[in-house]
Structure 1
Amino acid sequence: MIESDLLTRLSGLVSRFEEVGTLITDPSVISDMKRFVKLTKEYRELEKINLARLEYIRTQEGLAEARAILDTEQDAEMREMAREELELCTNRIPELEEEIKLLLVPADPQDEKNAIVEIRGGTGGDEAAIFAGDLYRMYVRFCENKGWKIEQTSSTEGTSGGFKEVIFTVTGDNVYGTLKYESGVHRVQRIPQTETQGRVHTSAATVAVLPEADEFDVEIKESDIRTDIFCASGHGGQSVNTTYSAVRLVHIPTGIAVQCQDEKSQLKNKAKALTELRSRIYNMEYQKYLDEIAGKRKTMVSSGDRSAKIRTYNYPQGRITDHRINYTIYNLSDFMDGNIQEVIDKLIIAENAERLKEAEF
């Protein structure tokens, strides 16, 4: 019986929830920041499960009480209230069971992290760079609507506008867990600004979303980093091009290189570059986890495969099609204005269905 199985699994987590709650108040644990951060995260996850468990128990008790009243009570008003309670509880129990099942399935441990997003113009030359710029504006508006903070770390502009490459960080709640679905190849079909014959061209841009590594995730030795300082380029006035403020960091053991150029601050640039470097090193291991997911799942909704064509933006028809779930909508202008949550929600539902299937509930 679903009810009995769920309560049995939930009861086993109650003691762990109480244990972790005690541990995070222990001075010896608090002084070990790496362990404290890990336990605090576990506590938040267990707290969600415990709250759902308590609501599930209360709802079952409400259902039993309503049935008892209907079996024994003669008062018409009491019976009507019991019928309403019975209907409410009967509808709520299956919803709670689905919510609890999802909470019991291990989520991607990176979902709560901030994200580093890379957008690169792909096939299509100048038009691809223009499209990469359109995607960048789309994500900026989406993030602004979510109340997330965006910081651009580096960019290379296209000759006719847009970006050959733009990299930025996004800070907020559950950023990676939301934006990870955007990793892959985005294809656009439209008449380019540079087209004189009015023909529709197909271009592409790639989007990569990486979880931003915490300081405790990756330890980097200062001796393993080569630091290059050079003049920044781009907008910002004369000081940008004459002040040695841009920073390039090279991680010697892996060969990974990152660079960051802010307006004037070399220290700020180095701090941002170090965060990105740490994230890229961390991502090398994380990619193995994504590859493992991709090997198991059919739709690969969030597999992180950056070579997979995930979405087509057809301007003549005003259409967006997400190929992972075969979902099409006809509100392209609204979508490009940052209103992309509807598609992300559909992708989350598809992934949750896969996670539940894997867990064999």
Structure 2
Amino acid sequence: MNISQEIRKRRLALNMTQEQVATRLGVSAPAVNKWERGASYPDITLIPALARLLNTDANTLLSFEEGLSPEKNLAIQREVERRVREEGYDAGFSYAREQLRAYPSSDELAITLASYLDGALMLYQVPDLERYRPQIEAEYERLASSSVNAVRDQALTMLVAKAMAQEDCGRAQTLLDRIPEPTIDKQEQQAALYMKQGDYERAERLWETRVTKSAGALIAALSNLSEIALRQGSLDEARDIARRAEPIARACDLPRWMSATLELGAEVAQHDAEATMRLLEEIAASMKHMHVDDIDSPLHRYVGLTGISQLSQQMLALILAEVQTDDAYAFLRQDPALNERMRALINSMQPQDSHPTSI
């Protein structure tokens, strides 16, 4: 994003008109309009006042960083993960903030790091949640007004989920209403254009993304149908629906845990101890041995499963918390033999080389 886009984005976020900005700075409205169109730039003497007016700083306002390359973006993500895993959550969190200050215009990086750090709070059982959670949620709020549609929609989706978790259905609906209905499948048209131009690698990248997202969306739909069946007391139907996810994940070369977690809910609801333990073990093995750099599949040649890897950490955090405290797993904890088996499994699922006490 260049300075013209930065000015426009921040002005709109503050609900200010170009005329209001012009009046505050003592310039004409057409001058502000030219700034935002990139036809001209503010005089250097106006930069400090303009930065203060837009609630930012001169360094951010003057950033001409157009955005990170996919390779640099991925490298930053992996370094944040490494620091959280090996040096503790605070080290990864601090490094992430440094990178966001270095690349203040990269909303794509911001949403990725916010989502990862949000999930890692539970995964690494960070004790001082309120030290970090408000900052992460503030980042979601900021990104909910992003000019990058995909980032905006993901941030809004995260805020909707948090509102629902807090039983604030009114706020959830208000946030949900801000997500626009798609009018055209731009990604599909772009992939078709790349193919027409003979740019097969870029076309394949887009279609790989579509395979992963579509399979994930289908599994999520089955998960919700299974959950509805459970709430209505149709246990056999819930189990039947849940088991349909496995061949979908297998056909798309997705990790086993994605379908196994769906089946887990049905087996837990029916208090099937052996099936529950078997699925927990399959999930643990799948997550433990999932290395995105080792993916060997024609469906993930270029894009890989980085996003799925981050999701697996969030799911692992949820499962670790549930099996230890949720009443749904009480039938396992009450049986001494099963409880011992479950404890050993939990220990094997804990993140390795983590040092939460170093925060």
Q: TM-score, normalised by structure 1?
A: 0.24
